[in-house]
Amino acid sequence: MTQTIEISGVTHAYDTASGKLPVLDNLDFIVPSASFCAVVGPSGCGKSTLTKLVAGLLIPDQGKVLLDGRAVKGPRSTVGMAFQNPVLLEWRTILDNVILPLEIVPNKLTRSQKEDRARELLSLVGLEGFETKRPSELSGGMRQRASLCRAIAHKPDILIMDEPFGALDAFTREDLWQTMHRLRAEEPFTCMLITHDLRESIYLADQTIVLSDRPARVQHTMDTSMNGRTDLDVLYEQEAVEMLHVLRDQIKIAQGRAEDAQAAQ
Ligand SMILES: Nc1ncnc2c1ncn2[C@@H]1O[C@H](COP(=O)(O)OP(=O)(O)OP(=O)(O)O)[C@@H](O)[C@H]1O
């Protein structure tokens, strides 16, 4: 079962040696159940902070994060996470890395059922035959595939991804975008993706939220659903190119470079 993410009046500041650092300012938006939301914005505006609030690793100073209407008060097993650095455990095989959440989150699966689940996911992302390898024996893209499998092994209702494809070369990244579409078709979850790659948000997300500079507010919301299209050609068609221009201009405005955006029109 997937869940709705509701960010309601969320304001947050960090305590630092030089005083309070306001990071998020009255954020309000909804990610409907089973949909995919990308969050973009200037560097340091508070995107990762937002993921920590949704994951329950931080509690907002004001406002609420609600998952299916229930306020987040701490980490939940129904939320999976994937980061730019896959952090797989070198002393475990790829299969055992994917099984890890099934050893932590309470469930009634036998060892052989856990293995079946991990094998099924690895096969879905094209890693069949690599089950017994160690993480260091895999390429960066393969490690990120394994890490995605691990993030959803326990069938979370929500998947949060913080720049998961940021360190990969352009071709591997596009390959993983397609893998994401495949995974979503097979394993429904509500997804929040933090990215600096606007094409990635257009290709993957149903909705893209542009945050302003810190303290971040919602500056712009765009419907980036591409009518179910999952072929990469869609990115080169007029609709996607127009979306890309609007998002780029919005980022310039967020960075305080509004004149650049106006001059570009
Ligand atoms: N634990 C912390 N204590 C104090 N300040 C923090 C802490 N974590 C983050 N910050 C600061 O809060 C601001 C927002 O950080 P955050 O990592 O959420 O931004 P971001 O948008 O994800 O950045 P980037 O796009 O560069 O990854 C930054 O100025 C950062 O230095």
pLDDT in tens, the chain (265 residues): 788 999 999 999 999 999 999 999 999 999 999 999 999 999 999 999 999 999 999 999 999 999 999 999 998 888 998 888 878 999 999 999 999 999 998 889 999 999 999 999 999 888 999 999 999 999 988 998 999 999 999 999 999 999 988 888 888 889 889 988 988 888 889 999 999 999 999 999 999 999 999 999 999 999 999 888 899 999 999 999 999 999 999 999 988 865 555 555 5
Residue 20 Cβ < 6 Å to ligand 1: no
- Rg, C-alpha atoms of the chain: 19
Residue 44 Cβ < 6 Å to ligand 1: yes
Instruction: Tell how far the Cα of 49 is from the centroid of ligand 1, in angstroms.
Output: 6
CA-to-CA distance for 12 and 120, rounded, in angstroms?
A: 40
Residue 42 Cβ < 6 Å to ligand 1: no
**Domains of the chain: which residue ranges?**
1-77+159-164+190-265, 79-155
CA-to-CA distance for 204 and 202, rounded, in angstroms?
A: 6
Instruction: Tell how far the Cα of 120 is from the centroid of ligand 1, in angstroms.
Output: 36
Residue 16 Cβ < 6 Å to ligand 1: yes
Instruction: Tell how far the Cα of 262 is from the centroid of ligand 1, in angstroms.
Output: 29
Instruction: Tell how far the Cα of 45 is from the centroid of ligand 1, in angstroms.
Output: 7
Instruction: Tell how far the Cα of 50 is from the centroid of ligand 1, in angstroms.
Output: 10
Residue 156 Cβ < 6 Å to ligand 1: no
Q: Which CATH number fits domain 1-77+159-164+190-265: 3.30.9.10, 3.40.50.300, 3.40.50.2300, 3.40.50.720?
A: 3.40.50.300
Residue 111 Cβ < 6 Å to ligand 1: no
Where do we find the tokens 């609709």? 239
In ligand 1, the atom with minimum distance to the C-alpha of 45 is 21
Concatenating the DSSP letter of every residue in 184-219 gives: HHHS--EEEEE-S-HHHHHHH-SEEEEE-SSSB-EE
Residue environment code for 121-131, b if the CB has 16+ CB neighbours within 10 A, otherwise e: bbebbebeebb
Which residue has its alpha carbon closest to ligand 1 atom 9? 49
Query: Which are the contacts of 222, defined by CB distance < 8 A and separation ≥ 6?
Result: 207, 208, 210, 243, 246, 247
Which residue has its alpha carbon closest to ligand 1 atom 10? 14
Predicted pLDDT at 261: 53
Which residue has its alpha carbon closest to ligand 1 atom 3? 14
Residue 18 Cβ < 6 Å to ligand 1: no
Whole-structure pTM value: 0.92
In ligand 1, the atom with minimum distance to the C-alpha of 46 is 18
CA-to-CA distance for 235 and 218, rounded, in angstroms?
A: 25
Instruction: Tell how far the Cα of 83 is from the centroid of ligand 1, in angstroms.
Output: 15
DSSP 135: G
